[in-house]
């Protein structure tokens, strides 16, 4: 052990040992990754075998098996043509919640000049990553769609004018509000003509947008952790809902 005022000893052994230690740490990490990969492969293969033995199909199986069938070089194109013949047009709502496999299916079936494929999505509403939804699928689809075939809905028919204005203001504060600026650009919208009146409680209009600020744990300290902030935010939202409905 070295004292604070000490200096590192100089000897070739220490340099060699440091290199050995770094290599050993990387090897352990690779071994752990390899073990996890092998365990995942075993579990998936075993699950697939047992489902086949019991004649079971899940929703994911319907997608993966269709994907495998469409990928076959001999019969895949014929299958895609048969599906297109039966369904020459497709409209995919909430497209921001799709995953690469689902997009690949639509691409293989409708990637032709006479196809009618409508992808309707809003990347601001992409909230299903825990189910495999991938925002990069939306970005890829947008990039692969010619600009002449992109359409933006510029009128909001669901919210009051005040709410629409608040959302426009919030997301216009920063050009990188959605981080991936090359694939996701905020488009301000307008409220529909004759939009409903604002919400009034106890004779006062409710503000269209409210932010909850949680104080730092200590003065000058770091902000509150997500783990600690989540239950407070949930309790505050529930309390506000009760107040509005009372």
DSSP the chain: ---TT------HHHHHHHHHHHHHHHHHHHHHHHHHHHHHHHHHHHHHHHHHHHT---HHHHHHHHHHHHH-TTTHHHHHHHHHHH-SEEEESSGGG--HHHHHHHHHHH-STT-EEEE---GGG---GGGT--HHHHHHHHHHS-GGG-----EESSS-HHHHHHHHHHHTS-TTTTS-TTT------EEPTTPPPPPEETTEEPPS-----PPPSSTTSPPPPHHHHHHHHHHHHHHHHHHHH-
Mean pLDDT of 135-148: 89
> Is-contact 80 112, C-beta < 8 A?
no
pLDDT of residue 74: 95
Residue 1 has pLDDT above 60, yes or no: no
Q: What is the pLDDT of residue 132?
A: 67
Q: Which residue, among 104, 182, 94, 112, has the nearest Cα to 142 in the 3D structure?
A: 182
**pLDDT given for residue 2 in this prediction:** 55
pTM: 0.69
Q: Which long-range contacts (CB under 8 A, 24 or more apart) does 97-101 make?
A: 97/121, 97/125, 97/126, 97/127, 97/128, 97/131, 97/133, 98/133, 98/134, 98/137, 98/138, 99/132, 99/133, 99/134, 99/137, 100/134, 100/136, 100/137, 101/63, 101/64, 101/67
Predicted confidence (pLDDT) per residue in 18-35, tens digit: 889 999 999 999 999 999
pLDDT of residue 61: 93
When mean pLDDT is compared across 120-134, 153-167, 169-183, 200-214, the lowest value belongs to: 120-134
Look at residue 131 and tell me whether its pLDDT is greater than 80: no
Could you give the percent of the chain with pLDDT greater than 70? 93
Q: Mean of the pLDDT values across residues 72-85?
A: 96
8 A C-beta contact, residue 208 and residue 168: no
What's the whole-number mean pLDDT along residues 225-230? Answer: 87
What is the pLDDT averaged over residues 86-112?
A: 93
Could you read off the pLDDT of 43-63 as tens digits, one per residue? 999 999 999 999 999 999 999
């Amino acid at each position: 052990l070295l004292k604070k005022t000490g200096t590192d000893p100089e000897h070739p052994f220490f340099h060699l040992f440091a290199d050995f230690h770094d290599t050993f740490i990387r090897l352990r990490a690779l071994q752990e990754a390899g073990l996890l990969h092998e365990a995942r492969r075993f579990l998936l293969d075993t699950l697939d075998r047992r489902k086949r033995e019991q004649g079971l199909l899940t929703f994911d199986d319907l997608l993966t098996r269709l994907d495998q069938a469409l990928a076959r070089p001999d019969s895949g194109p014929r299958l895609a043509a048969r599906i297109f013949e039966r369904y020459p047009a497709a409209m995919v709502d909430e497209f921001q919640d799709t995953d690469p496999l689902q997009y690949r299916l639509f691409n293989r079936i409708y990637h032709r000049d006479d196809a009618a494929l409508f992808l309707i999505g809003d990347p601001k509403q992409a909230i299903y990553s825990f189910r495999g939804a991938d925002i990069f699928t939306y970005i890829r689809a947008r990039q692969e769609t010619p600009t002449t075939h992109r359409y933006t809905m510029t009128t909001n028919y669901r919210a009051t004018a005040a709410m629409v204005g608040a959302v426009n203001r919030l997301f216009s504060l920063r050009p990188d509000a959605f981080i991936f600026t090359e694939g996701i650009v905020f488009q301000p919208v307008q409220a529909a003509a004759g939009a409903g009146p604002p919400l009034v409680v106890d004779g006062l209009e409710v503000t269209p947008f409210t932010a909850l600020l949680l104080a730092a744990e200590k003065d000058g300290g770091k902000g509150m952790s997500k783990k600690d902030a989540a239950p407070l935010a949930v309790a505050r939202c529930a309390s506000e809902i009760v107040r509005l409905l009372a």
